[in-house]
């Protein structure tokens, strides 16, 4: 998957959830996107907390 495909998939997901709508509880603001990105990347980083290698590749793939 390249960045274009990833962006398209994200847009489909956000649209399906209704998060682009004007009065949504989860607006796609720069702040909210930055917080979400940080939280999600922390979940990936957690797999490398005490090791250079991923111990559970199935869980790791689930984070991606």
Q: What is the 3-state secondary structure of the chain?
A: CCHHHHHHHHHHHHHHHCCCCCCCCCCCCHHHHHHHHHHHHHHHHHHHCCCCCCCCHHHHHHHC
**pLDDT at position 25:** 87
What pLDDT digit, counting tens, does each position of 3-61 carry?
Answer: 999 899 888 888 888 888 888 888 888 898 889 889 988 988 888 889 888 888 888 88
What is the reported pLDDT for 47? 86
- On the 0-12 / 13-18 / 19+ scale of CB atoms within 10 A, 60 is middle
């Amino acid at each position: 998957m390249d960045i274009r495909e990833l962006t398209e998939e994200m847009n489909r997901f956000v649209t399906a959830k209704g998060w682009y709508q004007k009065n949504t509880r989860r607006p796609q603001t720069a702040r909210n996107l930055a917080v979400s990105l940080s939280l999600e990347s922390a979940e990936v980083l957690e797999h490398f907390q005490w090791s250079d290698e991923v111990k559970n590749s199935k869980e790791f793939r689930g984070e991606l």
